[in-house]
Amino acid sequence: MTLPQHDLLRLLESLRSVDGLGLVREVAERLLQELIEAEATTKIGVA
C-alpha cells in the first residue's frame, strides 16, 4: 500500500506535533508490551 504524497506530509506534520509524539509513544509502548507478553507466553508454554 502506497500513501499519496499529501497523506505522507500530513502524517509527518502530525508526528512533529506534541500530540503526534504522544501517539507514537503510546503505539511503541503497546507494541513492546505485546512482544513481552508473546515472549513470556512462549517461554512458559501458556496460550
Per residue in 17-26, pLDDT tens?
Answer: 767 677 778 8
Q: Is residue 40 part of a domain?
A: yes
* Position 34 in a domain: yes
The Cα–Cα gap between 10 and 15 comes to: 9
- Please count the structural domains in the chain: 1
- Please enumerate in sequence order all residues whose Cβ is within 8 A of that of 24, keeping only pairs 6 or more positions apart, or say none: 15
- CA 21 – CA 13 distance, rounded (Å): 11
In angstroms, rounded to a whole number, what is the distance separating the alpha carbons of residues 22 and 34?
Answer: 18
For the stretch 1-16, pLDDT in tens is: 566 888 778 877 777 7
pTM, full prediction: 0.54
Q: What nine digits make up the cell of 36? A: 513481552
Q: Does residue 43 form part of some domain? A: yes
Report d(CA 32, CA 18) in Å as an integer. 21
Cell of 24: 507514537
